[in-house]
């Protein structure tokens, strides 16, 4: 009897290879890039010269004029960020860049998610006003902060909004606003993270200052803002935005700086804490190694710790702060583990009643769950159930806060918008992206919301789509699997959301294997038609497989290079064991 894993494999239909790719790349690489929509060699050129110009960004001229005035008149500038990795890196980029460009007083403020919630709220404006800023610059938030902007202006504070989230029906009346997703914007990349938006604003400000003779007049050396690209890369990957060509340039350039030993002290310290070798770092290390440690501050305590680490000019200080982030990340893991066990027990209880009765849009609520961790829990349950999931916990005043994660086929922010339009009384606040969103509802409306959300998801997904599907690029022969191919896949391009790292599948004979750690399998695999063997590692294997004698397995895998005591060897990273024969 075959063992069926939790995923199915769907193979990509090979796309026609453009002549430009066929002429410059080996056939397999050309096919992999063509399958990801690359049409020319230029789309694989990640030099900074390939970045689109900032002029099409709506509001960019007003934004840099306002910042120029702030620099000239030595205004006190306060950067108000968000409490996730994108918000932290955005804040650090804004503060560092403004200081490099000659700003006088620049400080930052990040709302504590447990006291003030998300964005530039009137409550956080009141806190900000105690610092007497003359200009507030929002990063990674602000597009929905209508009341907060009004409150700031009533307090005599001008506001520049920089954001990338989708706007609502009403825009804030800020003095200037830059967001590639606002109506009428002509910037070609709609997937910039918040850190990418503020980086572009700083590039535009530097050009204006150069044209105005600012640097010579102030006795300043014009800064190379490329030194901030390690932060831009981290925020872009950690926010799981689509890696279109523009974002791949930003990530590739940031990764290159880290590999070359030119990372900021904060990034160096985070690499050490995450046990990632900077010289071999890839984009996924930013998402799965550095990002969670930075996010732990905002989830468990106060993101100011993470921002201070990123802003640190001293490696010793950065290491001290990174150690604190590491401790918070351990705490986060423990809390998440307990919550996950409770959530899975509830899922199992519902499954036992009727395996086919789970809602298409799935909601879980526990008044005791940690507000800072519900987003991670939603992601874990989404991966398990292969459907959109919202996890709720208690907030103040009879309200509950939810964090939503979605799957392909359901734009979660648009789904919430549709629910709000059909049931105006249900959602008090919401916002987000295609794959992630946050919301607040009254506790008494939870059951009604569950039904409305499930109905909306059913409009977009069929029952056949509620299973996990891994998209494979097909089989590789023993002769195709080489160190050279693994090295090129590792180094030639950043992979991530919307530009998936190549995944392959196939049947292998099991020549040897042993359990390592608690639930990991170290395997020696052999192609059925070749005597060649290759090492493989499968992490967090289902307990039922750990005790089985495996002879022949079907796997989905990625190519990797394992480095041990200075030696490198080819290795298959097993994504899932699909079947056992």
SS3 content of the chain, % helix, strand, coil (to 5): 45, 20, 35
Question: Locate tokens 């938030």: which residue?
Answer: 141
Q: How far apart are CA 267 and CA 324, in angstroms?
A: 14
Do 457 and 361 meet the contact criterion of CB atoms below 8 Å apart? yes
Look at residues 476, 487, 483, 485 and name the one whose alpha carbon lies nearest to residue 525: 476
The predicted pLDDT at position 353 comes to 58
The predicted pLDDT at position 4 comes to 39
Q: Which tokens go with 149?
A: 């902007």
Is the pTM here over 0.85, yes or no? yes
Mean pLDDT of 312-333: 96
CA atoms within 13 A on the CB side of 491: 11
Provide the edge-to-edge strand list for the sheet that holds 105-109: 105-109, 76-80, 135-139, 158-162, 176-178
Mean pLDDT of 482-505: 95
Domain map of the chain by residue range?
Answer: 7-15+469-580, 50-327, 358-466
Encode 347-362: b = buried (16+ Cβ within 10 Å), e = exposed: beeeeeeeeeebbbbb
Mean pLDDT of the chain: 92
**Between 116 and 360, where is the model more confident?**
360
The number of residues in the chain equals 581
The predicted pLDDT at position 3 comes to 36
The CATH classification number of 50-327 equals: 3.90.1640.30
For domain 358-466, give its CATH number from 3.40.50.1100, 3.40.50.800, 3.30.70.20, 3.10.310.30.
3.10.310.30
Mean pLDDT of 65-75: 98
Do 390 and 426 meet the contact criterion of CB atoms below 8 Å apart? no
pLDDT more than 90, % of the chain: 78
Q: Kindly tell me if the per-residue pLDDT of 468 is higher than 90.
A: no
Q: Kindly tell me if the per-residue pLDDT of 318 is higher than 70.
A: yes
Q: Which tokens go with 526?
A: 């052999």
The predicted pLDDT at position 216 comes to 95
Q: Kindly tell me if the per-residue pLDDT of 33 is higher than 90.
A: yes
Do 502 and 473 meet the contact criterion of CB atoms below 8 Å apart? yes
Q: Would you tell me how many other CB atoms lie within 10 Å of the CB of residue 344?
A: 14
pLDDT digit string (tens) for 180-229? 999 999 999 999 999 999 999 999 999 999 999 999 999 999 999 999 99
Q: Kindly tell me if the per-residue pLDDT of 70 is higher than 80.
A: yes
The predicted pLDDT at position 404 comes to 95
Do 444 and 457 meet the contact criterion of CB atoms below 8 Å apart? no
**Is residue 444 classed exposed, middle or buried when 0-12, 13-18 and 19+ CB atoms within 10 A define those classes?**
exposed
Report the chain's terminal Cα–Cα distance, integer Å. 7
DSSP assignment of 503-555: -EEEEEEEEEEEEETTTEEEEEEE-TT-S-EEEEEE-S--HHHHTS--SEEEE
The predicted pLDDT at position 472 comes to 95
pLDDT digit string (tens) for 138-187? 999 999 999 999 999 999 999 999 999 989 889 999 999 999 999 999 99
Band (pLDDT 50/70/90 cuts) for residue 500 is: very high
Q: Kindly tell me if the per-residue pLDDT of 355 is higher than 60.
A: no
**Is residue 343 classed exposed, middle or buried when 0-12, 13-18 and 19+ CB atoms within 10 A define those classes?**
buried
Evaluate whether the domain defined by 7-15+469-580 bears CATH number 3.20.20.120. Answer: no
Contacts of 348 (CB under 8 A, 6+ apart): none
The predicted pLDDT at position 1 comes to 26
Do 238 and 86 meet the contact criterion of CB atoms below 8 Å apart? yes
Q: Kindly tell me if the per-residue pLDDT of 514 is higher than 90.
A: no
Look at residues 338, 202, 316, 195 and name the one whose alpha carbon lies nearest to residue 266: 316
Which range, of 116-125, 144-153, 334-343, averages the lowest pLDDT?
Answer: 116-125
The predicted pLDDT at position 352 comes to 58
The predicted pLDDT at position 530 comes to 87
Band (pLDDT 50/70/90 cuts) for residue 349 is: confident
The predicted pLDDT at position 354 comes to 61
The predicted pLDDT at position 94 comes to 98
Mean pLDDT of 300-317: 94
The predicted pLDDT at position 236 comes to 98
Q: Which tokens go with 350?
A: 């519902």
The predicted pLDDT at position 356 comes to 66
pLDDT more than 70, % of the chain: 97
Contacts of 68 (CB under 8 A, 6+ apart): 205, 208, 209, 212, 214
Provide the edge-to-edge strand list for the sheet that holds 389-394: 362-365, 389-394, 399-405, 436-442, 427-432
**Between 540 and 188, where is the model more confident?**
188
């Amino acid at each position: 009897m075959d063992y069926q894993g939790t995923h199915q494999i769907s193979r990509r239909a090979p796309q026609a290879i453009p002549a430009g790719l066929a002429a410059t790349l080996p056939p397999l690489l050309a096919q992999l890039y063509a399958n990801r929509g690359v049409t020319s060699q230029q789309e694989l050129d990640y030099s900074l010269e390939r970045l689109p110009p900032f002029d099409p960004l709506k509001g960019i001229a007003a934004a840099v004029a306002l910042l120029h005035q702030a620099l000239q008149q030595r205004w006190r500038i306060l950067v108000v960020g968000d409490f996730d990795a994108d918000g932290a890196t955005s804040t650090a980029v804004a503060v560092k860049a403004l200081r490099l460009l000659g700003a006088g007083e620049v400080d930052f403020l990040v709302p504590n998610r447990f006291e003030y919630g998300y964005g530039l709220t009137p409550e956080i404006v009141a806190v900000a006003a105690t610092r007497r800023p003359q200009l507030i610059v929002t990063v990674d938030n602000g597009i929905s902060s209508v009341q907060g902007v009004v409150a700031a202006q009533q307090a005599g504070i001008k506001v520049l909004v920089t954001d990338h989230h989708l706007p609502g029906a009403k825009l804030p009346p800020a003095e200037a606003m830059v967001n590639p997703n606002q109506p009428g914007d002509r910037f070609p990349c709609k997937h910039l993270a918040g850190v990418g938006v503020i980086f572009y604003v700083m590039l535009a400000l530097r050009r204006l200052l150069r044209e105005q003779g600012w640097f010579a007049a102030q006795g300043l050396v014009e800064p190379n803002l490329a030194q901030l690209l390690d932060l831009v890369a981290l925020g872009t990957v950690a926010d799981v935005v689509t890696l279109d060509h523009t974002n791949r340039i930003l990530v590739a350039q940031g990764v290159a700086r880290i590999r070359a030993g030119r990372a900021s002290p904060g990034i160096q310290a985070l690499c050490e804490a995450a046990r990632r070798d900077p010289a071999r770092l890839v984009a996924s290390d930013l998402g799965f190694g550095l990002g969670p440690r930075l996010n732990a501050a905002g989830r468990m305590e106060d993101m100011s710790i993470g921002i201070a680490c990123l802003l640190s000019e001293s490696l010793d200080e950065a290491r001290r702060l990174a150690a604190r982030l590491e401790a918070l990340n351990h705490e986060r893991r423990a809390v998440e583990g307990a919550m996950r066990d409770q959530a899975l027990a509830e899922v199992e209880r519902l499954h036992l009643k009727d395996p086919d009765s789970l809602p298409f849009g799935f909601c879980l609520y526990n008044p005791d769950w940690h507000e800072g961790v519900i987003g991670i829990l939603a992601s874990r349950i989404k991966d398990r159930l292969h459907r959109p999931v919202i996890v709720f916990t208690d907030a103040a005043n009879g309200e509950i806060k939810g964090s939503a994660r979605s799957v392909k086929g359901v734009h979660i922010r648009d789904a919430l918008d549709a629910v709000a339009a059909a049931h105006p009384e249900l959602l008090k606040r919401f916002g987000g992206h295609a794959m992630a969103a946050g919301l607040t509802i009254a506790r008494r409306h939870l059951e009604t919301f569950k039904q409305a959300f499930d109905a909306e998801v059913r409009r977009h997904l069929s029952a056949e789509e509620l299973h996990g599907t891994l998209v494979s690029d097909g089989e590789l022969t023993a002769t195709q699997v080489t160190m050279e191919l693994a090295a090129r896949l590792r180094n030639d391009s950043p992979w991530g959301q919307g530009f998936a790292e190549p995944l392959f599948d196939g049947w292998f004979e099991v020549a040897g294997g042993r359990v390592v750690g608690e639930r990991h399998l170290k395997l020696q695999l052999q192609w059925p038609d070749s005597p060649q063997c290759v090492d493989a590692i499968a992490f967090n294997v289902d307990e039922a497989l750990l005790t089985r004698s495996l002879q022949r397995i079907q796997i989905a895998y990625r190519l990797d290079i394992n480095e041990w005591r200075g030696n490198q060897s080819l290795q298959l990273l097993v994504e899932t064991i699909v079947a056992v024969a």
